[in-house]
Structure 1
Amino acid sequence: MAHLARRALLTAAAAGALPLRARAQGLAEGSWPSGTIRIVVPFAPGGSTDVVARLAAPGIQRALGVSVVVENRGGAAGSTGTDVVAKARPDGQTWLLTFDSHAVMPVLVPRLPFDLKGDLEPVTLIGGAPYVVACRPDKPFRDLAGIVAAAKASPSGVTFATPGNGTIGHLVMTLLGSRAGVQFQHLPYRGGGPAVNDAVAGHVDMVVGSAALVAPQVAGGTLRPIAQFGPQRLPALAQVPTAEESGFPGLQAEAWWGVFAPARVPAPVVARFHEALVSAFRDEAVSKQITEGQQARLVLAGPQELGRFLDAQIETWSRVVRENEIKAD
């Protein structure tokens, strides 16, 4: 009887596992996608992440043959929308397209309702754009050495604006100050637009934001770029040195966009969605809008590369947050 009971239990367990196994096998063998695909952007409409998602959607739709919708679910530094994806069914119908703040979310947002690494699967590193520090043309700053010298001469007297506490622009200037032995006065704004406006008006010494954020003012001559924090010079800022060229090896900070899936989405589905993303961004018109409109370099790296990149970003910026006791807005 015990043997029969045990066999019955095993049979029942196997039967219960069959639907999950069959579903994963079906997804892997071509039943996916089975309907409208949802790309969740964890920020309000109008920002760069929203723009990148909407640029990609038509190409993904063509590649997969189903409707693709972009859903904005902003709030709590991106964690609200991220939680939606982390808790979504792993059926390949819901994806997350997010920004560089993803890497600092665990240390900035207390009691996250999800596990950033355990509940989400890396899919594609779309690309990156260097953070740039810029000032009004009538300001005396010409390079990072000049900024550091001014801070040494007037402790806490050199101000810089960013779109908010805990943003990568805030963190990279904090790291620069730490490495140079100086302090800068951070003025957080609620968004990049107000920060840029006050830099143009002269209410703050500098603004630190993505290349796309400051590009219109740089092109119009109302802001002068001082340095960029990318791994190499951006073609549009070919005359502006990187931080590494300015004597700060390893000091890099880029805005970046990445795509994640709920954990346990079958690997073949992740691979196929990655291929659809790559196809969408390699479209000539889309690629031009990314490289020129967002001042970004396309990377289009796969899951393993995004996973390693995210690990490095979390390690770097979490340390800066903890060591300087930085809090979110």
Structure 2
Amino acid sequence: MNSLSPLPRRSLLGLLGAAALAPVAHAQASWPDRPLRVIIPVAPGGSLDILGRTFARAISPALGQPVVAENHPGAGSNLAFELVARARPDGLTLLVGSDPLTINPSLYRRVGYDPVRDFAPVIELVRAPQVLVVHPSSPATDLASFLALARREGGTMSMGSQGNGSIGHLAGAVLTQRTGVAFTHVPYRGGGPAVVDVVAGHLDALLVTLPAAIEHIRGGRLKALAVSGLNRSAALPEVPTIAEQGLPGFDVVTWQGILVPAGTPEPVVARLNAVLAEALAKPDVADSLASQGFDLRGGTPQAFAALIREESARWPGIVRVANATVE
């Protein structure tokens, strides 16, 4: 064949396609070329902060860049959510997201983001149930005896939560909706202070994310009556679920995971998913999270996106029942 004869059409198209893809492949291979930052929507010290910093450290070697954890608390986490929603979609700004991302649009009259439209979910990292705890001196020994006690007190039993509109508050609202038993809601600025008040005997009961209370439960300073997931927690297998104690289908859990701004290229999202999944599987990370009462998740960006859509559709009705709207 003459060396100058035309190439077959299929070969020519193949070469053109490879040439067009070459810059894209090179860009993907060189990403990231700058440090990344992980935006944590709460103050230092809580479980979400610990999770964010744990994964920032864990993924840095795989990405070959520093990964800096930044705390941006305020406005019920909305400041951090809005910051990431407006960030450049280059995969360099990561959000440690959790249930407030999908609750807050119903809780606040105005928020500067849409949880479905403005974010690209990367990976769900963990879930954790709420745990119903009382002081060890309480006569309640299970959910039934706890509800009977609350009925006798005619709605005056104090039930704490991490704050107005928090997952614990909404779990309590669902409990009231399902049983007809009312409580006096006492919101705190976080789960830690609420746990301290139950231990001290200043608060009758508390629904709080399990990691915030697990060491007090193990130490006998709190009595755990039930957990709010469909399945028992591996960290407290002796504590039954609310569902198995007469309220089938009761399922109110917190989730935590990583998101990036909408429009982030899919190959970048896929790489972040892979390095975060690898970090989640490391024994030191996995063992630490499991011992705190977290259920390890992982999975695809698509599965996490489906969860975000489901949660966004779920909360408006529950927030109305709880009368938890914030001005």
Counterpart code for 2:186: L
Mapped contact 2:235–2:290 kept (Cα < 8 A):
no
Cα deviation 1:161-216 (Å, max 9, x = unaligned): 11111111110111111111121111111121211111111111111111111112
The corresponding residue for 1:179 is 178
Alignment of structure 1 residues 1-329 onto 2, 5 Å: 25=24, 29-292=28-291, 294-328=292-326
Counterpart code for 2:311: Q
Mapped contact 1:27–1:266 kept (Cα < 8 A):
no
**Helix, strand or coil: the match of 1:301?**
coil
Cα deviation 1:147-169 (Å, max 9, x = unaligned): 22223222212211111111111
Cα deviation 1:230-265 (Å, max 9, x = unaligned): 221112211110011111111112222111110100
Name the % identity: 37
Shift of residue 136, structure 1, vs aligned partner: 0.9
CA separation in 2, counterparts of 1:106 and 1:32? Answer: 33
State the superposition RMSD in angstroms.
1.9
- Which one is further off, 144-153 or 236-245? 144-153
CA separation in 2, counterparts of 1:93 and 1:132? Answer: 35
Structure 1: runs of 5 or more not aligned: 1-20
CA separation in 1, counterparts of 2:260 and 2:23? Answer: 15
CA separation in 2, counterparts of 1:87 and 1:103? Answer: 17
Shift of residue 222, structure 1, vs aligned partner: 1.0
Cα distance change on mapping 1:142 and 1:119 into 2, 3 Å: same
CA separation in 2, counterparts of 1:151 and 1:82? Answer: 37
Shift of residue 22, structure 1, vs aligned partner: 9.2
CA separation in 1, counterparts of 2:28 and 2:257? Answer: 26
Counterpart code for 1:280: A
Q: How many residues align?
A: 308
Normalised by the length of structure 2, the TM-score is 0.89
**Helix, strand or coil: the match of 1:236?**
coil
Counterpart code for 1:177: T
CA separation in 1, counterparts of 2:188 and 2:26? Answer: 45
CA separation in 1, counterparts of 2:253 and 2:22? Answer: 39
Cα deviation 1:242-290 (Å, max 9, x = unaligned): 0111111111122221111101001010000010101111111111111
Shift of residue 26, structure 1, vs aligned partner: 5.7
Shift of residue 54, structure 1, vs aligned partner: 1.1
Shift of residue 221, structure 1, vs aligned partner: 0.7
Shift of residue 112, structure 1, vs aligned partner: 1.0
